[in-house]
Chain A
Amino acid sequence: MSAGTPVLELRHVGKRYGAAAAVSDVSFSVESGQIVALLGPSGCGKTTTLRMIAGFVDPDEGSIHISGCDMRDVRPHERNVGLVFQDYALFPHLTVEQNIAYGLRQRGDRKAAIAARVEEMLALVHLEGFGARRTAGLSGGQQQRVALARAMAVAPEVMLLDEPLSALDAKLRQELRFELKQILQATQCTTLIVTHDQEEAMSLADEIVVMDRGRILQHGDAPTIYHAPRTRAVADFIGRANWFEGTLGARMPDAHRVFVTAEGTFRVAADGLTAESTVQLCVRPERLRILTSDETVAEELNVLEGTLASAAYLGSEIHHAVMLASGRTIVCVEQNRDQAIPARGTRVRITFRPQDCIVTGP
């Protein structure tokens, strides 16, 4: 299959339970070899969407296509879809080897072929020599890898991963995230990942579909979602944000525009924006710079004044809470470069560039 062909395509898919719509008008596609993340808080409909693709839930509206075939009335075991469950769902009565061989056996592969494929999968997930083990004795990370190997063994058209790393502790999660990405890329697997963890989505996926209350809020790659969120909900869900409310003002000679708030007037780079009504501006905490000295700043930069309310030392980062003249507190994140941390109560200036401003609708 050539690149650019959608392997998985959802067209206006909807599902309601009683009066409540769990999923409504969801459309997106995953191209061959692409990794897409379905990101949203719990209860946003992402798991229902995944279960509809796997065939465990029938959509009420719209259609789901895998490799061009409409999946209506195709039962779960007739779909060539690999599933990795949140709880891994390894068969406790089978060994690691038998777990991985399960799908191949259902397909009726020959014994020698099964054995070879199982070895290949064990090598892929770095579990050589674990074949004869029971699954119960494995660590969380190992179980996760067996689940991945089992799902990939039958070379499914689409891999579906349901919160693949959420059951692991933070450190292991980061290691496995990296490994998972390598495996998925090495095998050119077309993959849909369902997750509520924005870091997981951004680090693993080529594209992110942000969902909330059953609807798609935005669809794009990680930088787009992070730097150009369309709504406040998306910006809030992905990363941290400091918000200012105000109105867009006149266009300036340098293509910047004025954004007037109760806490000051800022220059923003907002080329595409036309709305003159009340809008919102957000600045990511890591784009804010804290100045304690009186050095002069470039005219172009936006400046806020405030006092340092508290500082949290988090190792690699330092989070400063700065109280503005309005009494509101905003958060600045600095990389830890062994710099001196100013004392509480210090007068500081905060600067940020026009291009650090994200103007969104309500």
Chain B
Amino acid sequence: MIVLSVLLLIVPLAMTLSMSFDARDYLGAFPPTDFSLRWYEKFFSDPYLLKGLKTSLQLATLTALVSTALGLAAAVALDRLPGRHAELAISLFLSPLIVPGVVIGFALLLFYARAGVSDTFLRLLGGHVLITFPYAIRTVLAALGGIRPSLGEAAQSLGASPIRTFWTVTFPLAKTGIAAGAIFAFVFSLDDVAVSIFLSDPDRYTLPVALVSMLHANFDLTVAAVAVLIMAASVVLMLALDWIAGLDRVIGAGYYKP
């Protein structure tokens, strides 16, 4: 059973990896006979895809920042609410998770038209913040929840105002969790197609959207090369996260509770 699941997960990735190095200029039978870097070269010389990459990176970075900042603010407030209210508010904040991306994308498209938001980048940013916010708030909440309340009280009894307490005690103790939230938001933003496809226009589009339209127009293995690059970026980010914080600690409960 485990072997089957692993195969199901690994085999498509391995195939994509090997095909991205296929030297043939047509979609030939698997496995490839010769290997080259031609699809990677094509990607890095294709202005259409590069433009998508640039937008995607800008969008993911900004999304991560905005989402984490909002998540942090919300989580700090939630941490102080009495239990029942906090739970209600948290379910509300996490609700975008259960709405399919396609629905969010379409709904946002209608909303933006009504609200008069015409800048495409702004439209994309709004959508991405919406879908990554639940992840950001979850990780930040876990990090804050792990900090014993007595630490904050100790700081206040030593003369630190609530704001100074936040910056000298709460934030330093939660920062790995906050960084984790930012990285999750970045990765999910980089990855999104469902929402972005509704909000992009021919002039401003993300890399995954560009890949989808390429699949429709002229299919070649550049898609595989880009997929491998995105995978590599995700792996690097996750390794970085593991190195900074310890992935199990970031995903699991907090740090300092006995």
Name the contact of A83 in the complex, choosing from B153, B168, B169, B256 (C-beta under 8 A): B153
Say how far B83's CB is from chain A's closest CB, in angstroms. 14
Verify if A178 is at the interface (C-beta below 8 Å from B): no
Query: Which residues of chain B in 114-169 are interfacial with respect to chain A, using CB atoms and an 8 Å cutoff?
Result: 148, 150-151, 153-162, 164-165, 168-169
Verify if A273 is at the interface (C-beta below 8 Å from B): no
Number of interface residues of A (CB under 8 A): 25
**Bound CA span A81–B153, Å:** 12
Verify if A54 is at the interface (C-beta below 8 Å from B): yes
Interface centre among B148, B151, B258 (most CB of A within 10 A): B151
Chain A 82-116 per-residue mask, 1 if CB under 8 angstroms from chain B, else 0 = 11011101111100000000110011000000000
Chain B contacts for A102, CB-based, 8 A: 155, 158, 160, 168
Say how far A327's CB is from chain B's closest CB, in angstroms. 47
**Bound CA span A54–B158, Å:** 11
Verify if B172 is at the interface (C-beta below 8 Å from A): yes
Chain B contacts for A107, CB-based, 8 A: 159
Chain A contacts for B155, CB-based, 8 A: 91, 102, 106
Cβ contact within 8 Å between B154 and A154 = no
Verify if B238 is at the interface (C-beta below 8 Å from A): no
**Bound CA span A89–B161, Å:** 17
Chain A contacts for B154, CB-based, 8 A: 83, 85, 89-91, 150
Cβ contact within 8 Å between B157 and A106 = no
Cβ contact within 8 Å between A77 and B157 = yes
Verify if B173 is at the interface (C-beta below 8 Å from A): yes
Cβ contact within 8 Å between B164 and A106 = yes
Name the contact of B169 in the complex, choosing from A82, A91, A150 (C-beta under 8 A): A91
**Bound CA span A54–B256, Å:** 23
Chain A 146-158 per-residue mask, 1 if CB under 8 angstroms from chain B, else 0 = 0000110010000
Q: Which residues of B contact A (CB under 8 A)?
A: 148, 150-151, 153-162, 164-165, 168-169, 172-173, 256, 258
- Can you list 28 pairs linking A and B with CB atoms under 8 Å apart? A54-B153, A56-B153, A76-B156, A77-B156, A77-B157, A77-B160, A77-B162, A81-B157, A85-B153, A85-B154, A86-B150, A89-B150, A89-B151, A89-B153, A91-B151, A92-B173, A93-B172, A102-B155, A102-B158, A102-B160, A103-B159, A106-B155, A106-B158, A106-B159, A106-B160, A107-B159, A151-B158, A154-B159
